[in-house]
Structure 1
Amino acid sequence: MEVLRHPAVGGFWSHCGWNSTLESIGEGVPMICRPFTGDQRVNARYLETVWRIGVQLEGELEKGTVERAVKRLIMDEEGAEMRKRAMKLKEKLEASVRSGGSSCKSLADFANSLKMKNSMQQQSDSP
Structure 2
Amino acid sequence: MVRRPAKQLSSICEFWVSFGSVAQLGEAEFTNMAWGLANSKQRFLRVIRPDSVSGSDPLELLPKEFIEEVGERGCIVKWAPQQEVLAHQSIGAFWTHNGWNSTLESICEGVPMICSPCSYYQPINVRYVTDVWKIGVMLDNRMDKEEIESTIKKVIADKGGNEMRQRSKSLQEKVNLSLK
TM-score (norm 1): 0.74
Q: For the residues of structure 1 that align with 2:150 and 2:122, how far apart are their CA atoms?
A: 22
Given candidates 12, 18, 21, the residue that maps to 2:103 is: 21
Confirm or deny that 1:92 pairs with 2:142. Answer: no
Q: Is the helix fraction higher in 1 or 2? A: 1
- The equivalences for 1:42-61 within 5 A come to 42-61=124-143
**Unmatched segments (≥5 aa) in structure 1:** 99-127
Identical counterparts, % of pairs: 50
Who wins on radius of gyration, i.e. which is larger?
1
Aligned residues: CA RMSD = 1.0
**Corresponding letter in the other structure for 1:47:** V
**Corresponding letter in the other structure for 1:71:** K
Confirm or deny that 1:72 pairs with 2:154. Answer: yes
User: Which contiguous aligned blocks of 4+ residues in structure 1 show a shift greater than 6 angstroms?
Assistant: none
- Structure 1 residue 38, shift from structure 2 partner: 1.6
Q: For the residues of structure 1 that align with 2:84 and 2:128, how far apart are their CA atoms?
A: 25
Given candidates 44, 62, 67, the residue that maps to 2:144 is: 62
**Unmatched segments (≥5 aa) in structure 2:** 1-82
Q: Is the strand fraction higher in 1 or 2? A: 2
In structure 2, the residue corresponding to 1:71 is in which secondary structure? helix
For 1:37, the equivalent position in structure 2 comes to: 119
- Structure 1 residue 58, shift from structure 2 partner: 2.8
- By relative contact order (CA 8 Å, sep 6+), the higher-ranking structure is 2
TM-score (norm 2): 0.53
- Structure 1 residue 60, shift from structure 2 partner: 4.5
